[in-house]
């Protein structure tokens, strides 16, 4: 039995991952952004060991969640599933002065990775859209460019894949990977997404718990339990280091080697 934390797990792929892991006999702690969603998660996955609450648009809440997780004891795996999509028509700035999508999709997994006691495995959720994105470190926070929600989302998913590979390089004793679940008909993906929803959660659960040698890889990007080639930028060590540096500066939280 593995102890697994799944973020953003009241609906969609996060809930599917949590349910599958519970069915397999694992100790699963779920998370969502408010108490109402946490209650929904508990009702939808009655075998869960608990549901934690944190709004990832607030750095203080992300840090507090890390403290709550550490109080529960060391986890074997963390699935960084929480995220928002490409529907924000305007740049929404959080109380910490960063775009909403950047806080939730990029800073939250960075801060949780830096602050939570190191698990054996980390799984980050990417997207096929990350292949068309660039790091754009000269305007990461969209203060110069005209806001484009699709591009902002794609960049945030590039950040997730880059972070996964950066962690794998910096922490050789942790198995850190990223997953493309496919474009599937969830609330985020929309009702007309063409890929198979029944396959979309399997790789995350497999990477978090399986003894399959392939599932114990590190520094890889997966699609349906197979290696998939990520955006070359994510594999660039200078890009990895720059992303970590920027996230450390914006969050005030250092990522220790």
Q: What residues are annotated to the active site? A: 153, 157
CA angle 52, 200, 227 (to 5 degrees): 110
Pair 122, 175: CB distance under 8 Å? yes
In whole angstroms, give the CA distance from residue 38 to residue 58.
17
Angle between helices 12-23 and 35-44 (to 10 degrees): 40
From CA 234, how far away is CA 21, in angstroms rounded? 29
Q: Is 155 helix (H, G, I), strand (E, B) or coil?
A: helix
Give residue 219's region: left, alpha or beta (phi > 0; psi -120 to 50).
left
Mode of pairing for the β-strands spanning 3-6 and 50-53: unpaired
Helices and strands (H and E) in the chain: how many: 9, 8
What angle, rounded to 10 degrees, do the helices at 12-23 and 202-209 form? 50
Of 117, 108, 125, which is closest to residue 173 (Cα–Cα)? 117
Map tokens 């109380």 to a residue. 95
């Amino acid at each position: 039995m593995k102890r697994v934390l799944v973020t953003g797990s009241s609906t969609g792929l996060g809930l599917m991952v949590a349910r599958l892991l519970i069915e397999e006999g694992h100790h699963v702690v779920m998370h969502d952004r408010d108490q109402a969603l946490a209650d929904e998660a508990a009702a939808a996955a009655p075998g869960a060991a608990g549901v934690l609450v944190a709004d990832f648009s607030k750095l203080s809440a992300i840090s507090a969640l890390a403290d709550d997780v550490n109080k529960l004891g060391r986890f074997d795996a963390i699935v960084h599933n929480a995220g928002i999509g490409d529907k924000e028509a305007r740049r929404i700035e959080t109380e910490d002065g960063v775009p909403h999508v950047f806080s939730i999709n990029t800073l939250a997994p960075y801060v949780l990775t830096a602050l939570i006691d190191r698990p054996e495995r980390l799984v980050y959720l990417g997207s096929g859209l990350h292949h068309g994105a660039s790091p754009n470190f000269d305007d990461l926070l969209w203060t110069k460019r005209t806001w484009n929600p699709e591009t902002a989302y794609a960049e945030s998913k590039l950040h997730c894949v880059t972070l996964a590979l950066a962690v794998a390089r910096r922490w050789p004793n942790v198995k850190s990977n990223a997953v493309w679940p496919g474009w599937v008909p969830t609330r985020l993906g929309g009702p007309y997404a063409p890929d198979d929803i029944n396959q979309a959660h399997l790789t995350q659960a497999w990477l978090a718990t399986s003894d399959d040698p392939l599932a114990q890889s590190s520094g890889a990007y997966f699609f349906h339990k197979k290696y998939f080639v990520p955006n070359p930028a994510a594999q660039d060590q200078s890009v990895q280091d720059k992303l970590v540096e920027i996230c450390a500066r914006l969050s005030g939280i250092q990522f220790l080697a």
